[in-house]
A and B are shown apart, each in its own frame.
Chain A
Amino acid sequence: AQTVTQSQPEMSVQEAETVTLSCTYDTSESDYYLFWYKQPPSRQMILVIRQEAYKQQNATENRFSVNFQKAAKSFSLKISDSQLGDAAMYFCAYRVNFGNEKLTFGTGTRLTIIP
């Protein structure tokens, strides 16, 4: 069974600084997707970034980028120039490409932005 591990329950970063959230996963599949979702307090869960496992290039979305290390089964999220609006719970998630529509979530990392 696939598992997703987020070893940092809480992180904090100074506004305008850079922070990296870690995620590791375990799978025997070779074709899968990885996601980072953001859930602000009492607000909707939204997709931050997605990575296709067969693509070696790391995904980027504006200030958000990932470091995808397939062999190490690691998928970290880097947030550059942190802003107050980045404060949220961040969930790493995994999905196999074929045959299963389910997401496997990590336990989440609560990110605090210090003004």
Chain B
Amino acid sequence: DAMVIQNPRYQVTQFGKPVTLSCSQTLNHNVMYWYQQKSSQAPKLLFHYYDKDFNNEADTPDNFQSRRPNTSFCFLDIRSPGLGDAAMYLCATSRGRTSGGDQETQYFGPGTRLLVL
């Protein structure tokens, strides 16, 4: 089945130690998103890629970076995690502005829960 996959599901890191979360998709979607979600809150968009074009949200801290080496993979790098970065990180995809239906629906992965010690 086509899907959005996130690894690992749980990640423990130390304060200040760089960490990378990964996302892959078999949907062949043009757009990939990274969200941060804290307990009982709505997801907060950090950034998204439309193909290779990177779109950063104005309030996303510089501590968060992203890479998209190809259509299928997208990475979230947290350069120096702080205690406040402990959260669920969600990856999502959408088709983007292409022909065909359902261009706008976002499909989410299961998330990676990050714990910072």
From A50, A95, A107, give the contact of B42 (CB < 8 A).
Answer: A107
Determine whether B111 belongs to the interface, using a CB cutoff of 8 Å to chain A.
yes
Minimum CB distance partner of B113 in chain A: A42
The number of chain B residues with a CB under 8 A from chain A is 22
B110 pairs with A43, CB closer than 8 A? yes
B41 pairs with A108, CB closer than 8 A? yes
A-B contact pairs, 5 of them (CB 8 A): A44-B109, A98-B97, A101-B94, A103-B45, A108-B41
Q: Which residues in B have some Cβ–Cβ distance to A below 8 Å?
A: 31, 33, 40-43, 45, 48, 50, 55, 90, 94, 96-97, 104-111
CA A95 to CA B31, docked complex, whole Å: 14
Q: Which residues in A have some Cβ–Cβ distance to B below 8 Å?
A: 33, 35, 37, 43-47, 50, 89, 91, 95, 97-98, 101-103, 105-108, 110
From B42, B45, B97, give the contact of A108 (CB < 8 A).
Answer: B42
CA A37 to CA B35, docked complex, whole Å: 15
Q: Which of chain B's residues have a CB closer than 8 A to the CB of A46?
A: 108
CA A20 to CA B110, docked complex, whole Å: 26
Q: Which of chain B's residues have a CB closer than 8 A to the CB of A108?
A: 40-42
Minimum CB distance partner of A4 in chain B: B42
